[in-house]
């Protein structure tokens, strides 16, 4: 199928944005927000609001360039040489992001669920449907998201409904006890993951069939995803308290272990594992598809399908070596903000500046 014939609906874009926002974030971000102590939910609100600004930025850039994808915009604005260099940087970013998400899955399952299974095999088994889905294309990915969404929402509601009675709301008091600086610093974590990563949607926007509604879908998906992350952060602090929850690597998973209804309905942490795996599956599927799409643009392949399987083997290998252990990943998160700011904010902002400058010069020439 030709790329210009691929179309998804605004509702599907909303679901993709929501699932991407939750993705690996549901397990990784609450611990980072809790660094603001019992004010982690305030950090979440600030980071989510900043993320909405990024969606507006991406949409404006796409609209000003007639809804071309990011790689085409780079070629138009920067020229063939500089454009190819920048496109190569973005391809490497998308590729490493795919390997990172796959590595997050393996680390979690190997440490918390499948403790005797080597994570190499976990990666491989999870990657097989990813390769198949990427080969089917964006429309199939969007329809798959629609199919999985009801299950995702039902599991989330079950989780929230049974964990709320365990919350001690006094753990959230007093508000802003940690001060402004820790709150703002902690908000950068959710701004970095997932919102700065959502520059990937600049490759998806050209395929939305009702483009006037695309921004609303992005904002809605990002806001709902952020709200779910904030609610989970509140529940973690409310159940465990800041002092205890700050020592856990995966407090969201442990939170589900607290569910106990009449000593019958208990030990159901598989619920949060299922929520996470569903959303992470969609995130990885989208990341990998865009990685293949980027490679196709760089080397002028006839079809995205040509790069799916060869790139899959390389992604599998890098997913194993990219993070030697969880401790290394925790350190990586702290320094990742710098390059994510460059990729997800600075470059798009420069694109908008160059376009405005070019339009201004063109307008001046037309007046003369």
User: pLDDT tens across 115-136, in order?
Assistant: 888 889 999 999 999 999 999 9
Tens-digit pLDDT profile for residues 140-157: 999 999 999 999 999 888
pLDDT tier, 161 (very low <50, low <70, confident <90, very high otherwise): confident
Percent of the chain whose pLDDT exceeds 70:
92
Distance CA 261, CA 165 (A): 10
pLDDT digits (tens, 9 = 90+) for 301-360: 888 888 999 999 999 999 988 877 666 776 777 678 888 999 999 999 998 888 787 776
pLDDT of residue 134: 94
Element (H, E) at 332: helix 326-341
Q: Are 156 and 273 in contact (CB under 8 A)?
A: no
Using only C-alpha atoms, the chain has a radius of gyration, in whole angstroms, of: 21
Structure tokens at 237: 């602090």
**Cis bond upstream, residue 215 (ω within 30):** no
pLDDT at 202: 94
Residues 256 and 238: their CA atoms lie apart, in Å, by 13
53 versus 40: the higher-pLDDT residue is 53
Eight-class DSSP state of 302:
S
Categorize the per-residue pLDDT at 237 as very low, low, confident or very high, splitting at 50, 70 and 90: confident
Measuring CA to CA, which residue among 332, 221, 351, 350 is closest to residue 286? 221
Q: How far apart are CA 40 and CA 34, in angstroms?
A: 5
- pLDDT tens digit sequence for 82-99: 999 999 999 999 999 999
In degrees, rounded to 5, the angle at the alpha carbon of residue 106 between the alpha carbons of residues 44 and 94 is 65
The span from the CA of 55 to the CA of 274, in Å, is 28
Residues 266-276, mean pLDDT to the nearest whole number:
74
* Secondary structure (3-state) at 23: coil
How is residue 109 annotated by DSSP?
I
Whole-angstrom distance, CA of residue 339 vs CA of residue 252: 27
Share of the chain above pLDDT 90, in %: 47
- For 181-213, the pLDDT digits (tens) are 888 888 888 898 889 999 999 999 999 998 889
Catalogue the E-assigned strands of the chain.
260-261, 265-266
DSSP, res 171: G
Band (pLDDT 50/70/90 cuts) for residue 243 is confident
Q: Work out the pLDDT band at 262, boundaries 50, 70, 90.
A: low
List all residues 6 or more positions away from 55 whose beta carbon is below 8 Å from its beta carbon.
Answer: 198, 201, 215, 218, 219, 222
Distance of CA 191 to the CA centre of its chain: 10
Task: Using the predicted structure, report yes or no on whether residue 67 has a pLDDT greater than 60.
Answer: yes
Q: List, as one string, the DSSP characters of 260-271.
A: EETTTEE--THH
Q: pLDDT value at position 25? A: 82
């Amino acid at each position: 199928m030709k790329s210009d014939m691929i179309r998804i609906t605004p509702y599907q874009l909303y679901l993709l944005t929501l699932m991407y926002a939750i993705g690996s974030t549901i397990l990784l971000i609450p611990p980072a927000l809790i660094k603001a102590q019992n004010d982690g939910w305030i950090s979440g609100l600030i980071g989510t609001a900043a993320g909405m600004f990024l969606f507006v930025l991406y949409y404006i850039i796409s609209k000003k360039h007639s809804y071309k994808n990011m790689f085409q915009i780079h070629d138009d604005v920067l020229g063939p040489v500089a454009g190819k260099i920048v496109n190569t940087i973005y391809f490497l970013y998308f590729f490493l992001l795919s390997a990172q998400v796959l590595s997050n899955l393996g680390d979690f399952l190997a440490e918390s669920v499948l403790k005797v299974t080597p994570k190499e095999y976990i990666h491989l088994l999870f990657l097989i449907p990813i390769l198949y889905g990427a080969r089917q294309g964006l429309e199939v990915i969007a329809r798959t998201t629609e199919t999985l969404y009801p299950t995702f929402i039902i599991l989330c509601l079950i989780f929230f409904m049974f964990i709320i009675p365990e919350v001690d709301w006094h753990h959230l008091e007093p508000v802003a006890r940690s001060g402004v600086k820790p709150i703002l610093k902690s908000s950068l974590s959710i701004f970095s993951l997932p919102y700065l990563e959502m520059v990937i949607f600049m490759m998806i926007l050209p395929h939305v069939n009702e483009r006037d509604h695309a921004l609303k879908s992005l904002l809605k998906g990002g806001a709902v995803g952020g709200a779910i992350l904030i609610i989970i952060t509140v529940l973690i602090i409310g159940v465990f308290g800041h002092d205890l929850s700050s020592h856990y690597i995966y407090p969201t998973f442990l939170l589900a272990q607290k569910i106990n209804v009449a000593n019958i309905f208990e030990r159901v942490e598989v619920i949060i594992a299922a929520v996470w795996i569903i959303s992470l599956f969609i995130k990885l599927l989208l990341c990998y598809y865009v990685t293949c799409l980027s490679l196709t643009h760089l080397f002028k392949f006839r079809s995205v399908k040509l790069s799916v399987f060869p790139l899959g083997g390389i992604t599998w290998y890098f997913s194993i070596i990219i993070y030697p252990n969880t401790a290394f990943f925790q350190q990586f998160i702290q320094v990742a903000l710098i390059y994510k700011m460059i990729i997800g904010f600075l470059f798009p902002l420069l694109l908008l500046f160059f376009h405005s400058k070019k339009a201004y010069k063109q307008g001046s020439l037309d007046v003369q």
